[in-house]
Amino acid sequence: MPGHRLTAPKGPTVVTDDQEHPRAAAAFDALGVEYEKAFAASKTHRRSLEWLLARLAPGSRVLDVGSGTGRPTAETLAGAGHEVLGVDVSPVMVELAARQVPAATFRCADIRDVPLADESFDAVCVYFSLLQLDRAEQKDLVRRLVRLLRPGGHLVLATVPLDVEGVDATFMGQPVRVTSFPAQELIALAEEAGLEVLAQEASMFTPVHPDARPEPHLFLHCRRPQPPRMG
């Protein structure tokens, strides 16, 4: 959809790629709305969205990578009048998001397969959506997301900052394979991709779920710098 500008639809809008159901989506298909309930109490996530909202011009175009059920990210941004495209590999999550946040547009796809024009977004949100990619894939994706940002645009990245690679784990009762970086390496990854890290916040959070355990969260608030002026 290079160059295509999204408009807020009157009803739910879902675009689904005709492709094999991604293996990584299975856990989140199973969790569905339980994932939203488990993380709804995250004050750090809410503060992160407030940080972003304070820096967006009216009617900004925002990409929500791993948009889940649409809450709180797409709902908060669309409710503030911004133009939101959410992309998620889970069909169940995308259907939920489209019903819950009809003012946004959602696409069921792997973000790496979605054709989007460089410098076509004012902001990109990446809340906990890198964890099932390997380290090389995470680095490549962040570099691509930076290219999608207009100069001066903002990117918010949240993850579980642990030194783990390809670890089989159980998340809220579902089997997942997790890869992440420790905090300083994640910051270096963002900077190497061309971002300026303006602020960061670390916290511990326990999802509201009987099988959940406390987990560290790290939120990076970044900007793609403006190119230097000549002369």
pLDDT score recorded for residue 31: 61
- Which residue in 225, 114, 212, 128 sits closest to 170, CA to CA? 212
Q: Is the C-alpha dihedral spanning 156, 160, 161, 165 positive or negative?
A: negative
Q: Confirm if 2 and 115 have CB atoms less than 8 A apart.
A: yes
Specify the number of domains making up the chain.
1
* Portion of the chain with pLDDT greater than 90, in percent: 70
> What whole-number distance in Å separates Cα of residue 12 and Cα of residue 231?
49
Residue 1 falls inside a structural domain:
no
Q: Is the confidence at residue 30, as pLDDT, over 70?
A: no
Tell whether the model's pLDDT for residue 21 goes beyond 80.
no
The predicted pLDDT at position 70 comes to 96
Task: Decide if 219 is inside a domain.
Answer: yes
Taking only the tens place, the pLDDT of each residue in 77-133 is 999 999 999 999 999 999 999 999 999 999 999 999 999 999 999 999 999 999 989
DSSP result, 103-129: TSEEEES-GGGS---TT-EEEEEEES-
Question: Could you tell me if residue 172 is inside a domain?
Answer: yes
The enclosing domain of 75 has a CATH number of 3.40.50.150
Burial 111-126 (b: 16+ CB within 10 A, else e): beebebeeebbbbbbb
Q: Is residue 28 scored above 70 in pLDDT?
A: no
Residue 3: inside a domain: no
Structural domain includes residue 127: yes
| Residue 89: closest CA among 219, 6, 176 | 176
Instruction: Say if CB 66 and CB 31 are below 8 A apart.
Output: no
Mean per-residue pLDDT, 13-35: 52
The answer to whether residue 16 scores a pLDDT higher than 50 is no
Count Cβ atoms below 10 Å from residue 61 Cβ, excluding itself.
18
> Is 215 domain-assigned?
yes
Residues 187-204 pLDDT 10s: 999 999 999 999 999 999
Residue 176 lies in a domain: yes
Q: Reply yes or no on whether the pLDDT at 217 is more than 80.
A: yes
Residue 174's alpha-carbon distances to 17, 20, 123, 136, 151, in angstroms, are 25, 20, 31, 24, 39
Query: Would you state the pLDDT for residue 63?
Result: 98
* Predicted pLDDT of residue 38: 74
Kindly state whether residue 11 falls inside one of the protein's structural domains. no
User: Across the chain, what does the average pLDDT equal?
Assistant: 86
What pTM was computed for the model?
A: 0.86
CA-to-CA separations, 42 to 102, 166, 175, 177, in angstroms, rounded: 23, 26, 23, 23
- Strand ranges across the sheet with 196-205: 13-16, 105-108, 83-88, 61-65, 121-127, 149-159, 215-223, 196-205
* Burial per residue of 13-28, b for 16 or more beta-carbon CB atoms within 10 angstroms, e otherwise: beeeeeeeebeebbbb
Residue 39: is its pLDDT beyond 70? yes
pLDDT of the residue at 165: 94
Q: How confident is the model at residue 18 (pLDDT cuts 50, 70, 90)?
A: very low
Output 124 or 175, whichever has higher pLDDT. 124
Domain holding 152, by residue range, is 21-224
Name the amino acid, one letter, at 219. Answer: F
For residue 27, what pLDDT is reported? 57
